[in-house]
Structure 1
Amino acid sequence: MAETARQIADDLRARISSGELTPGDRVPGEPALVREYGVAKETARRALTLLVDEGLAVRRRGSGTYVREFRPIPRVANKRLAEDGWGAGKSIWDADLGDRQYTVTDLQVYESEPPRQVAKLLELDESELVVVRSRRYVVEGEPVQRATSYLPARDVRESPITQENPGEGGIYGRLADLGLKPVRFTEELRARMPSQEESSLLALSAGTPVVEICRVAFTANGRPIEVNQMLLDAGVYVMRYHLES
């Protein structure tokens, strides 16, 4: 019985997980899969596309499909937002990456009218402005995330938050300096297909989805102080949560 593309992809994924196929190895190509599984060339192509879409493999034009060498990033929401990280002057990215290196590119800091949804989340009046911090994160040469933070301009206009480098502990550290320490966060996640512009921004392979996250930070008295809208390459992230009953 002919195997489906999903079954073939499952087999190839198992070979990757077991170490039979290691990072950088060439995945069996369409002709090899056609012979091994007795399927049509289109079915073999779909199986390889599934691996690429999942972020497990990459295509190299004129060469074939290879096991991706980039290690997934575990995004542990509970840990990365803990005060003992940013409160001690660390970047919240340290919780995700450990000793892996990252760079910030395309950084822009400016004042603007907020998008309608952002104004609603920050409970702002119509005429109020926000300070916008937009940036892209690149890990080991690969763009993995775009993040845009919005903060009420009336609260942060004269602070280091308006500078490219806000200092140790990032903007949460500076909010704490202003008496606006974030103590509670909410995050909403959804997966979707990217626009052409977003695919270009994150250098996504065709068919790769993104994860959209909207985080709101609250002060001790329940006031929303920051909205952060993030766009992640779904192929490089593992979402991890530590929960207690």
Structure 2
Amino acid sequence: MVDAGRTGLFVKVTNLQFADTGVSNGLKYITCLFVPVPVSKPRLWPLSSLVNRPTCWGQPVTVRCRCTKGTGIRYAWYQHIHHKDFLFQQSSDLGLHCGTVKEDSNYYCIASNDVSSEESDVLSVQVLTPADNSCIYAVNIQGHPFYNCEDRRSTTMATTLPLTTSQAPVKIHLDTRNRSSQTNQTDQNLFFSRTWTGLPLWYTLLRWGSFASLLMFLCIVLAYAKTRCKKCAKKKRKVHIRKMSHL
């Protein structure tokens, strides 16, 4: 309280609250009236630039909720997921990182005081690759450039995606079945396979069979010729003996 002489007394009042409205004790002619200012619609903006798409590389992002007008403002973030709204945190700053983003969801901020409350625009989070570390997610804030990290996701999938366990046994089973089929086919066609001489077995058997048949034929011919010669020799002897007897 300051005494200004003839002007009167000047009273400085600080830290007024809504409950302070009324007549001050002992000051009959001084009335303290606290009129809170309603909050304006809160605005969202990231504290770090989203142009370089840090979320595509699993980096954290902080989004701030602020009102340009209002007194005694309280901020709270809500998460909309599975058609339900949940109180996420009571703070003006929303921290997004791989540990908090597990699936696609929407967030919004509510700013309120004792006389009014306002809701912000929706902040959308699209989770492309969930993980505790090095996740891939995209943040969409109205009024800011939108990105979807599809190029980063396709590169990651092409370079780091391992062969799934469901694919490996199928491949092994097919290879085994093909090898078994080839083995059976080889066994069935063993008669037509190549021998150590480099020629097919059937051709080798045919050649040796022909050679054996030719030998047998020659033996028969020689035996027949030998028998024929013996008969001729006997006839000549008989003729010679007869001639000698006539003489």
- Report the TM-score range of the alignment, normalised by the length of the smaller protein: under 0.3
More helix by share: 2
- TM-score (structure 1 length as normaliser): 0.24
